Amino acid sequence: MVTAAVQAPPLRLEGARKHYGKIVALDGVSFEVRPGELVGLLGPNGAGKTTAIKAIAGRVALDSGSVHVFGRTLTPRDPRPEVGVVPQELAVYPKLTARENLEVFGELYGVAPQALKARADWALEWSDLKDRTKEPVLRFSGGMKRRLNIACSLLHSPSIVLLDEPTVGVDPQSRERIYEMLRALQKSGVSVVLTTHHLEEAEQRCERILIIDHGLIVASGTLDELVRSTLGSRRAVHVMLDAAWPATEAMPGGARVGEDGRSIQADLPDLGGSLARLIDGIGRAGRTVTDVRLTGSTLHDVFIALTGRELRE
């Protein structure tokens, strides 16, 4: 039993289904998170991200399916000392100071009274708020409140941290600071699951990405895996020339000349061979390539390819 528990992944959601009236929020979502992994859960509005997070946190009772933490199957009422949940809202008391917020939530989440001060000191240091410990939170900037919001969920040293839109509404500096904080957590072996609308962030920061839509995980993997599985090896290429393409020369490999005569677009089925042939053909026509841009290789392309361009509101 002990061996099974040790080997079990920190978090596993299996066949999670949840509907609100006629609206299906989760339609059989399954995924697992490995130790020390930073996983991004992406999806359009209403795709089921927050419901999945709440189900793991015990705030949503699933119609069917199960939540497993380190091999334990949990009902909504079961305590979850291994889990820290950071809500999307700024769930801190504005009239209390940062330290007071940390202390009351620390105590509520089971930090022993004798360890409370040390944990609050750690959290203030970790969230870079140690110089503002005595100020009421209502005087804090948006970024500071976000950092405190995260810190309040970590005082009981959870092994799994769930963050719902942790960087919404903050400036780039605060965002950078928040990801530094999360990296530090990861290094200490904590598994992190976050939802975000910032695709570049997920692309750059997350080790693994889960894309959820209409209550289902529609793709999962690293960015490369997602690109390969969703878009294959075909890429759109935009090439800029030093001078207009000579009208007498045929365009190599089915490429098209833009209206300005200096830009060329082509859809290349295999990037390795086709791009080399295209550049070679351009050279033979007496032109020099000044810039090359590839599209169809970003998370944004994958996301749009999987979830479509239709507005979700």
Partner 1 sequence: MSTIRPLLRIGYLNVRRDRVVLAMVFLLPVMFFSIFATVFGNQRDSTARIRVAVADLDQSDYSKKIVAALGAEGGLQVRTTENADGTGAVLDREKAEDLVKKGALAVAVVLPKGFGTSGRFFNRDASAPKVELLADVSDPIAPQMVQGLLQKVSFTAAPDVLASEGMGMLEKYGGPLTPAQRASMAEWQKLLAAGGSEAAQVAANVGPAIDIVNVMQPGYGNVGIVSFYAAGIGVMFLLFSASGAGSALLDEEESGTLGRLVGSRAGMTGVLAGKWLFITMLGVLQLIVMFTWGMLVFHLPLLPHLPGFFVMTIATSAAAAAFGLVLATISRSRAQLSGISTIVILAMSAVGGSMFPRFLMSEGMQKMGLVTFNAWALDGYIKVFWRNQPVTELWPQVGVLLSLCALFLYAARMFARRWETL
Residues that bind partner 1 (CB under 8 A): 20, 54, 57-61, 76, 79-80, 85, 87-93, 95-96, 100, 103-105, 107-110, 113, 136, 152-153
CB of 54 to partner 1, least distance (A): 7
Return the number of the residue (78 or 171) whose C-beta is nearest partner 1: 78
Phi, psi of 283 (to 5 degrees): -65, -40
Return the number of the residue (21 or 172) whose C-beta is nearest partner 1: 21
**CA separation (Å) from 262 to 92, 169, 237, 245, 289?**
56, 40, 14, 6, 10
Return the number of the residue (66 or 298) whose C-beta is nearest partner 1: 66
Return the number of the residue (113 or 172) whose C-beta is nearest partner 1: 113
CB of 149 to partner 1, least distance (A): 8
CB of 230 to partner 1, least distance (A): 32
Q: Which two tokens stand for residue 305?
A: 């390819």
Give the whole-angstrom CA distance, residue 56 versus residue 67. 6
CB of 114 to partner 1, least distance (A): 12
> For residue 186, how many other CB atoms are within 10 A of its CB?
18
Return the number of the residue (105 or 245) whose C-beta is nearest partner 1: 105
CB of 109 to partner 1, least distance (A): 5
Q: Is the dihedral of CA 241, 243, 245, 246 positive or negative?
A: negative
Return the number of the residue (61 or 276) whose C-beta is nearest partner 1: 61
In 134-270, which residue ranges form alpha helices assigned H by DSSP?
142-151, 172-187, 199-205, 223-231
CB of 150 to partner 1, least distance (A): 12
Q: How many CA atoms lie within 13 A of 289 on its CB side?
A: 18
In the chain, which residue ranges form alpha helices assigned H by DSSP?
2-7, 49-57, 98-108, 113-126, 142-151, 172-187, 199-205, 223-231, 271-284, 299-307
Return the number of the residue (105 or 303) whose C-beta is nearest partner 1: 105
Residue 51 CA to its chain's centroid (Å): 16
CB of 99 to partner 1, least distance (A): 11
Q: Tell me if residue 58 falls in helix, strand or coil.
A: coil
